[in-house]
Structures are given as C-alpha cells and as structure tokens.
C-alpha cells in the first residue's frame, strides 16, 4: 500500500484545477499583466536559446497550426497562423512558470548567475537595435567553407545572413516562402529598385539566421531578422518583387543540384 495520503475522490487532475483556481484568485488584474509579460519574455528567450531548430519543437508548432486551422478555418494566412502558433506555445510556457510560482526561474539554465540590480534594470530597458534595409537591390548567395551566406544590400547596408551548412538548414527558405506568399496577396508587387551607384556599402551587418517575423506595412511588408535571443536586429522593407528575387536566389542552389 502506498504511504502517500490519498484524498477520497481527489485526482491529480483535480489538484491541477485547484492550483489553477488558486493562481487566478490570488492575482489582481495589474499584477498578472506585468508578471505575464515578464514570464512571456523569459519563455521567448528560453525557446530561442534551447528549442529553436529542434524537430520536436517544430512538430509542436505545426500541430498548433493545425489546431488553429481547425478552430478558425481559412481565417488566418500562413505567416499569421505560424506566428499565432508560436505565441500560443510561449503563452503556455509562461502560464506554466507562473503556475509553478517560480516565474523566470523555470527557464534558467541551472547555473547561479549573480548580477547587480542596476545591470538587470539596464537589460530590461535596453533599446532595440534595428538596421533598416530599404528595398534591396543586390542579392547574392555565397557558398563559403562554413556554409551558405545570403547577401542582401540596398547600397547603404549589406546584410550577410548565415543560413547554415545547407541553404534551408535553419528554415530561412521556408520562412521566406511564407513571407512571399503573404506579400503576393497583401502588398503591391512594386518595381525593382535601380542599381545604386555605390559599389561598397557603408555598413555590413553579419547575422546568423535565427528566425524572422513579418509585419505588414502600408504598401509593402517588413521582415524582422532576429538574433538568437529573439530580438530584431535588421528590418528589411520589401515588396513581393524583392522577396521573390531572394527566394529565387536560394532555390537556384536546388536547381543546380546543390541540395
């Protein structure tokens, strides 16, 4: 016989529901808003640090996308549905961490990290670093010893985006195809920008591809390229014309037998 006390008619599921009810009852509206936002950001950092690119994580996102499509058939475009699926997963992690009463501690790596309060405050309010790249004119794919680099330039800024040892190893092509599909139906195609007279860009930004997000603009779309922490580093303003050139450049490797 088990030594653990057993309450008549009380299951583990009942215990979970009781914990959820206590959690909701103890939180005021203002408190839960701030705590949920903080837990959500910690969950985002955890995903980008530990889960991004893992097949089991991608399978979970695809399952959530199918669930959204079942609940809201035809309501969301593919990029929006993908973003909502990840948001749902992050919310689940954040809610779990709050339910456990540990907040951000759930997502720690297990190592004791001591920081001054001033440094923590500075990290919380640090500004986003975004380089704006406007309607790229020069697009090329470089095959280097360590893998593939996508070079995208508007004549001022050259973005060197590391794609991995294969052009779609980190999912860049898959993401960009989704962004292109959205742009084709939600933004004017536009005309390709004329070649800039500038030969050497003023600034080169090197970035490992760690995901991207699409934001709809007035007459085009903005693609945010994220760092491993999920923070936007480069914002590329593009229309379907530029996105198609980028996708074609990557897919040309496949037509040449590269992958």
Q: How far apart are the first and last CA of the chain?
A: 60
CB 158 within 8 A of CB 116: no
What does the pLDDT read at residue 200? 56
Mean pLDDT value across residues 166-180: 91
Structure tokens at 197: 């007279």
Confidence of residue 123 (pLDDT cuts 50, 70, 90): very low
CB atoms within 10 A of CB 230: 19
The answer to whether residue 212 is domain-embedded is yes
Instruction: State the residue range of the domain holding 80.
Output: 12-110
Same domain for 155 and 249?
yes
Q: Indicate if the pLDDT at residue 249 is higher than 90.
A: yes
Same domain for 106 and 135?
no
Cite the DSSP H helix spans in 125-223.
Answer: 172-186
The answer to whether residue 200 is domain-embedded is yes
The answer to whether residue 48 is domain-embedded is yes
List the one residue out of 66, 47, 65 whose CA is nearest residue 57.
47
On average, the pLDDT of the chain sits at: 76
Domain tally for the chain? 2
Contacts of 51 (CB under 8 A, 6+ apart): 57
Same domain for 103 and 158?
no
Same domain for 64 and 136?
no
Q: How far is CA 71 from CA 54, 76, 77, 86, 93, in A?
A: 26, 11, 14, 16, 21
Instruction: For the full predicted model, state whether its pTM sits above 0.75.
Output: no
């Amino acid at each position: 016989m088990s030594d653990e006390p057993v309450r008549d008619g009380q299951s583990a599921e009942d215990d979970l529901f009781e914990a959820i009810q206590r959690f909701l009852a103890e939180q005021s509206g203002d408190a839960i808003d701030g705590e949920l936002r903080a837990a959500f950001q910690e969950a985002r950092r955890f995903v980008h640090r530990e889960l991004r690119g893992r097949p089991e994580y991608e399978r979970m996102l695809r399952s959530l996308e199918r669930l959204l499509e079942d609940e809201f058939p035809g309501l969301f475009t593919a990029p929006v549905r993908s973003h909502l699926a990840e948001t749902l997963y992050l919310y689940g992690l954040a809610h779990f961490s709050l339910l456990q009463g540990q907040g951000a501690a759930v997502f720690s790596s297990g190592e004791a990290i001591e920081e001054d309060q001033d440094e923590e405050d500075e990290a919380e309010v640090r500004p986003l670093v975004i380089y704006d790249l406007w309607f790229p004119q020069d697009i090329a794919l470089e095959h280097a010893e360590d893998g593939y680099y996508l070079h995208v330039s508007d004549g001022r800024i050259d973005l060197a985006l590391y794609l991995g040892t294969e052009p779609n190893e980190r999912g860049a092509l898959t993401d960009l195809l989704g962004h292109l599909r959205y742009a084709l139906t939600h933004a004017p195609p536009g005309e390709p920008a004329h070649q800039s007279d500038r030969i050497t860009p003023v600034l080169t930004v090197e970035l490992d591809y760690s995901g991207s997000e699409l934001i709809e603009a007035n007459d085009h779309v903005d693609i945010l390229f994220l760092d491993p922490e999920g923070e936007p580093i480069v914002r590329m303003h593009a229309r379907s014309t530029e996105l198609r050139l980028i996708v074609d450049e990557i897919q040309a490797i496949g037509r040449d037998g590269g992958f």
